[in-house]
Amino acid sequence: MSATLGWADALWLARRRTPNDRLRYWGSLLSSAITAALLCTAAGLLALQQGSVISRIQVVADDGTRGGVAFAVLLVALPALHLTGQTWKLGSIERRDRMRQLRDAGAGTDQLRRVAVADTVIPVAVGATLGMILLGPTLAVLNMSRQPAPGYHGVALPAGAVDISAAMAVVPNVVTASWWPPLLAVGSVTAGAAAAAARSVRHLDHPSHRRPSLARFVAGRVAPRTARPDLLLALRRIADEPRTTTRPALLLGLAAVVATASTWLNRQARFVIGEEQWTADDYYSQAYNLVWLATAVGIGLCALGLVVALSDAVVRRRRTDAAAVAAGVPATTLRRALTLQTLLPAIPAILLGLAIGGATSVAFTGRSRGDWLGDPAANGPLIPLPWGLWAIWGVALIVVATLAALIASTALTRTTQPDQLRVPA
């Protein structure tokens, strides 16, 4: 077999899919499309850096701030990359078993890499390409909605005058503006998937070493001291697999940092500029609205990644969970354990992110109205802290994590059936 397994055979084997493989295929396709679209947007904005750009979004039209917008889009791409990485792991048990069978039949390491790369790259490349195909027309349709308006940035125009800004493009079409951003996006996402797939061949036998982790240490210490079954299960699972929930929790914490910092900067800008000027000039309002939109998109992608990670963990534990239910453990206990497994790492990360974002932003700018943009005013009036908005962001992030756990817990209905007891350990 080692002399005959070529790329054609690897592609044929990659097409033989189980239901979990099909779920990974479609999940990889969707997540790679989102990731490629974000990367193309960031690269396209950088490609326009030296040119003259006409856009209704002033931070995009301005050469000095366009690079910052591209960097913000790259930050949003981090949760998308995490989501793509999680979808690659769906059905990992069956895929690992097939790889072992091929290895036992005589396949070498290079040939196993071919199968792994073929199984992973096809949906990722197709999804990334579809992301480019859909992004271009979407931006074109968005820019077609140009209607003259009776005002310019909130300022009334004389009778009969036409608002020139309303006839501008909303945002440049980053797909057609230059040739290399779409190719870079598709190529980088596909290459990253191929590298990750090739590397996974080295871990077929479950390495026994466990890396030190603060979450693992704390969960292992607290678990023996609790008497609640659901909390005990959650702590044991965190101690066994801390990465399942700690990585999405860190991304939610990063979103909390961005949300609280942007909330404070927004409030300070409105107090310093004044409501009248803030309404008349939409430069700052557009900038902060884009930051909040990017934060919301990032939180949504984090939630999807958390749903995928938890669902994959539920599938991997299906034999254990089915045995627990058969022994008399209520399924509701398993659902509560899954929710606690999500919230126990997420709540400290979110609270820490809120504290870091709020403290650093206030310390950096100062609370006085005259402190904004480096103009000191030691005796100026203090701007009230946005405690309410910060609390809303924190509650929203915790609700998102809870909803992700509840959605993933729906898989327990299938994985706790008696027929799952026949699944190999």
pLDDT for 379 equals 56
pLDDT for 183 equals 94
Rg of the chain over all Cα atoms, to the nearest angstrom: 25
pLDDT for 145 equals 65
- Cα separation, 144 vs 138, in Å, equals 10
Which of 79-93, 217-231, 335-349, 362-376 is predicted most confidently?
Answer: 335-349
pLDDT for 162 equals 38
Q: What is the pTM of this model?
A: 0.82
pLDDT for 147 equals 46
- Cα separation, 173 vs 137, in Å, equals 9
3-state secondary structure of 208: coil
Please report, as a single letter, which amino acid is at residue 361: S
Q: Which stretch of 209-223, 235-249, 253-267 has the lowest confidence by average pLDDT? A: 209-223
3-state secondary structure of 155: strand
Q: Which of 386, 381, 361, 362 is nearest to 370 (CA)?
A: 381
State the DSSP string of 3-67: TT--HHHHHHHHT---HHHHHHHHHHHHHHHHHHHHHHHHHHHHHTTTS----SSHHHHSHHHHH
What's the mean pLDDT when you consider all of the chain?
82
- Cα separation, 117 vs 228, in Å, equals 44
pLDDT, one tens digit per residue, over 347-373 is 999 999 999 999 999 998 888 766 555
pLDDT band for position 68 (50/70/90)?
Answer: confident
